Structure 1
Amino acid sequence: MTLFPVRRKSREASNSRPALAVPNQLGEDDFHLPLGLHLLIVGTTGSGKTTLLSNILLAFDEFLREGSVRLLAIDLKDGVSATACAGFYTKIASTLPEAVDLLQETVELVKKRNAWLKSRHETEIRWSMQTPLIVILIDEALQLYGAASPEQKKLQAQAQEALDALLLTGRSAGIMVIAAVQDPRKEFFKSRDHYPERMALALNSKDEAKMALGDEAVSRGAAPWLISHSTPGRGWYYDDLGHKAIRFQVPPVQADEIRTMSSILEPFTHQQDIKSLATRQKELS
């Protein structure tokens, strides 16, 4: 019988916003990531981004089981990492054209949801099985930038435009973006400032840490430039609400654990979401 690490259920954050409980081997308790707020993960090659993302995926367990969260993936490394966790995702984009389609489809969903909110004089979608929180996980988001050929540059520009729209207008509509990058500098990742939640694994310098987490996080003790690459999955998270830097070490995730969890999930499409909104609007009219 395979034994997996004990994973506590997700709980509410101290501000009553639903949160993901991510295991921390350096403390007695999990640390909590607020759901619905865009999250940026920064770490050099070999720092353990895949391990951290796998732990975050597993932390979505109870929300995925109840159907209040649906996951989409953009993995431009031929989709290898995302496909290993395919059961968690409604849709995986592994090429730039597929990424553009996924992002633009989600922008259209945001427009539909926001139109529904305006018709109801409401300000935020309440997540449910009918209108779940849509989480887009982008592995190596820097691949949406810096193309050489005109055709690739055009596609990247379309992807960036759609992503910026989601970052700026998606929160009220129940859209969350989790992006992982290697380099936090704005000349490489122009949308950095649109992510209110930040996590940093091993980085190269104190300056990179300030770009990734902010000056206040570093002043309160966050020091990702001191993390050894021999400890992948170790990093810092800045709890803005509690004004504290949290040092963490996520556990390794076994492939069997991912397969077991992903086998129980059911697919969901944007079309189902839009149809549900239309039905609810008709019932209320």
Structure 2
Amino acid sequence: MNMSFVLGIKEIDGELLYLNLGGAFSGLEQHAPHTLIAGATGSGKSVLLQNLILDICATNSKDMARVYLIDPKFGVDYQHLEELPHLSEGIIIDQDKAISTLEFLVEEMDRRYLLFRDQKVNSLKDYNAKTEENDRLPLLFLVHDEFAEWMLIDTYKQAVSSIVQRLGVKARAAGIHLIFAAQRPDANVLPVQLRDNLGNRLILRVESEGTSQISLGEKGAERLLGKGHLAARLQGESGLIFAQVPFLSTDELIKVTQLIANN
């Protein structure tokens, strides 16, 4: 299983910046299991999300990584990704289906802990090392774009906050990772329970100092250049890391998706 994913090229030294979910890699520490992405229109948020999903799927087989993609905007930015076999549910565009997916992840997390107990291990990596190939468990990624739109609905907000709080405590060892993204993760749509559990912050240009303060923890993201200019606050790293997110054209995206799907 690969659990280190390319975010961009670091400004300070031109080296690749990775999101390390499974351990230290390429001179960077192990980062938090869950991630918040924010960025206004034109900032490169959708491109960063596409890149992460492609990297997950290109470097892990469909049997060892599954992606659940929730998008209130009906998946228009991710239509080509639906061909990826790792997206077993396609793109989830319905609130009820989104809540049931989150509930499934909690149930799966608890089921996995019982399996770990039987095998006397405490992580997915150790469990897979002890079991036969057919019994190994995949990494699970929940990617929720534009979550702010549905978080304005109280029932959805309460359900998501409660479920994420449960997943935030134990999901890493079970191989379950959350990536939540929004244009404006302001205080009314990003409750403390959710914010505290999204330890990695990948912030592109935002519209205001207030949004920067909430998403990044300080002012400054409103002065980023847009088009993939990234400020990353990653658990375990000292200070902000500035980077440039790589860009794929639609034609290139289609080619990469087809390569992964046909491999």
1:101 matched to which residue of 2?
Answer: 100
Q: Deviations over 1:170-203 (max 9, x none)?
A: 2221100011022233332111111111111112
User: Is the Cα contact below 8 Å between 2:67 and 2:142 reproduced in 1?
Assistant: yes
- How far has the Cα of 1:67 moved from its partner? 4.2
- How far has the Cα of 1:157 moved from its partner? 3.4
Q: Which of 44, 47, 50 is matched with 2:46 structurally?
A: 50
The code of the aligned residue for 1:243 comes to: S
Q: Which of 212, 215, 220 is matched with 2:215 structurally?
A: 212
Mapped to 2, the partners of 1:249 and 1:208 lie a distance apart of 20
Mapped to 1, the partners of 2:63 and 2:243 lie a distance apart of 29
Q: Which of 257, 272, 283 is matched with 2:252 structurally?
A: 257
1:225 matched to which residue of 2?
Answer: 222
User: Is the Cα contact below 8 Å between 2:35 and 2:199 reproduced in 1?
Assistant: yes
2:117 matched to which residue of 1?
Answer: 118
Q: Which of 200, 203, 212 is matched with 1:200 structurally?
A: 203
The code of the aligned residue for 2:92 comes to: A
- How far has the Cα of 1:209 moved from its partner? 2.5
Mapped to 2, the partners of 1:82 and 1:101 lie a distance apart of 21
Give matches, 1:127-276, under 5 Å. 130-147=136-153, 153-190=154-191, 191-215=194-218, 223-228=220-225, 231-265=226-260
Unmatched 5+ stretches in structure 2 = 23-32
The code of the aligned residue for 2:205 comes to: A
Mapped to 1, the partners of 2:105 and 2:235 lie a distance apart of 28
The code of the aligned residue for 2:15 comes to: D
- How far has the Cα of 1:25 moved from its partner? 7.5
> Please, which moves more after superposition, 190-199 or 246-255?
246-255
Change (3 A) 1:166 1:56: same
User: Is the Cα contact below 8 Å between 1:135 and 1:178 reproduced in 2?
Assistant: yes
User: Is the Cα contact below 8 Å between 1:25 and 1:251 reproduced in 2?
Assistant: no
1:15 matched to which residue of 2?
Answer: none
TM-score of the superposed pair, with normalisation by structure 1: 0.73
Give matches, 1:77-92, under 5 Å. 77-88=73-84, 89-91=87-89, 92=91
Unmatched 5+ stretches in structure 1 = 1-9, 12-17, 148-152, 267-285
User: Is the Cα contact below 8 Å between 2:73 and 2:93 reproduced in 1?
Assistant: yes
- How far has the Cα of 1:155 moved from its partner? 4.8
- How far has the Cα of 1:106 moved from its partner? 1.7
**Structure 2 residue 69 is matched with structure 1 residue 73:** yes
Q: Which one has the largest radius of gyration?
A: 1
Mapped to 2, the partners of 1:165 and 1:200 lie a distance apart of 25
Mapped to 2, the partners of 1:41 and 1:99 lie a distance apart of 19
User: Is the Cα contact below 8 Å between 2:35 and 2:180 reproduced in 1?
Assistant: yes
1:5 matched to which residue of 2?
Answer: none
CA RMSD in angstroms comes to 2.7
The code of the aligned residue for 1:250 comes to: V
Mapped to 1, the partners of 2:155 and 2:235 lie a distance apart of 37
2:18 matched to which residue of 1?
Answer: 32
Mapped to 1, the partners of 2:53 and 2:182 lie a distance apart of 17
User: Is the Cα contact below 8 Å between 2:4 and 2:18 reproduced in 1?
Assistant: yes
User: Is the Cα contact below 8 Å between 2:34 and 2:168 reproduced in 1?
Assistant: yes
The code of the aligned residue for 1:31 comes to: L
Mapped to 2, the partners of 1:212 and 1:170 lie a distance apart of 22
Aligned length: 239
